[in-house]
Amino acid sequence: MQPEDKIIYLDNAATTYPSKEIADTYFKLTNEYFANSSSIHFLGAKSLHLLEVAKKQILNCLKMFDHEVIFTCSATESINLAIKGYCLKNSGRGKHIITSNIEHPAVSESIKFLVKYHDFEVTYLPVDEKGHISLDEFKASIKSDTILVSLMAVNNEIGSILPIKEIAEILKEYPKIAFHCDATQAIGKIDIDYQGVDLLSFSGHKFHCLKSTGALIKRKKVSLLPILDGGGQENGVRSGTVDVPLMACLAKSIRLEMENLKTNFQYIETLKKTLINYLLIHKDTYLLNSHDDNPYIVNFTLLNKKASVVVEALSKKGIMVSSASACNSKKEKESSVIYALYHDLNMAKNSIRVSFSYFNKKEDVLFLIKSLDEIIGGIK
Ligand code: PLP
């Protein structure tokens, strides 16, 4: 095992290293803005002001001016609130949901809950081998009782980018249908137009903010049934005392990531190219599963080896990658996303995800390549 300062962290789609600047900001703000933003005294009003400034900053960064921010503790919480909260509030208008078969479990399990306990019906859009849905199939799947479309912006395992703007454009003709987008792997990384999205979910730890930061961006006129009942914070939609300094950090992280989005994208592209060139030269060993213009995630299948063995061997050399999404990898089951691409269990069990951040260096990728060569050569 490598000493921790020698660790090469290439699992940034699972979570990222918290930025020192953001951690310092939290430490500073949490002393000054400790008061409860619901308190009516001066210190409470001061916290409330910071909360409102943070929300405005997020909406400006995302260019979502018809919307409001509901702070949560995670993307999972935002997604549950968006899907269950919207569907349970609006079930009188219909009970059909459209989603894809490569969504994160926070989405797919929330939908399964509605199917199991509230008699909802769901259409799962299939994807092609590049992880793309067909817009024609999407249009054809819309029914008179459809009330929700939930599609992710960027897939967490292969990095494929879904056509969010085009989907929102199609849905303009269906004012009864709300569009929820899980943008957890996209915010601060990929430039996407979210103006047509009604409900947008994400968490901050995927872009170097602190853990337990999340938000649901909701179009003002869309109404939700609260999932957490209590003191009625966050416009009555999400009760519980808000950690105002933490959410101010979320707003600051988004601003910084947005300001540097292009530069970071171009830099990480150079890292991705180095890895992809290696994978493509060794076509008898690796099959590339990431094809989109997204440098952050590179997924490949090992054609002749077990992914779990290679991930463990890489870990012993101090290189952290994942063999499926973080949520799936501990359960030692196949990746449902890779299965959705090829319908092949062996491929779905033997894929590796390398996910980059701007903290990574070219030497990290070169060491990964060298290590893969050694490990693959060494496994009989
Ligand atoms: N959606 C996507 C696409 C993700 O990648 C993740 C985390 O991996 C989540 C949702 C859930 O995020 P969190 O664990 O921060 O709640």
At CA 250, angle to CA 249 and CA 255, rounded to 5?
95
- What is the distance in A from the centroid of ligand 1 to the CA of 262? 23
| pLDDT score of 331 | 52
- What is the distance in A from the centroid of ligand 1 to the CA of 107? 9
| pLDDT score of 159 | 98
Alpha carbons 78 and 204: distance in angstroms, whole number: 12
Question: Where does the pLDDT of residue 332 fall: very low under 50, low under 70, confident under 90, or very high at 90 and above?
Answer: low
| pLDDT score of 325 | 47
| Residue 105, both tokens | 């479990």
pLDDT 10s digits, 146-155: 999 999 999 9
Residue 22 in contact with residue 208, Cβ under 8 Å?
yes
At CA 161, angle to CA 159 and CA 166, rounded to 5?
170
CB-ligand 1 contact for 322 (6 Å cutoff): no
Residue 111 in contact with residue 97, Cβ under 8 Å?
yes
pLDDT 10s digits, 248-307: 999 999 999 999 999 999 999 999 999 999 999 999 999 999 999 999 999 999 999 999
What pTM was computed for the model?
0.96
CB-ligand 1 contact for 106 (6 Å cutoff): yes
pLDDT 10s digits, 359-368: 999 999 999 9
CB-ligand 1 contact for 108 (6 Å cutoff): no
Calculated CA dihedral for residues 164, 167, 169, 170, nearest 10 degrees = 180
Higher pLDDT, 2 or 171: 171
- Ligand 1 pocket test target in 12, 152, 156 with most atoms within 8 Å of CB: 156
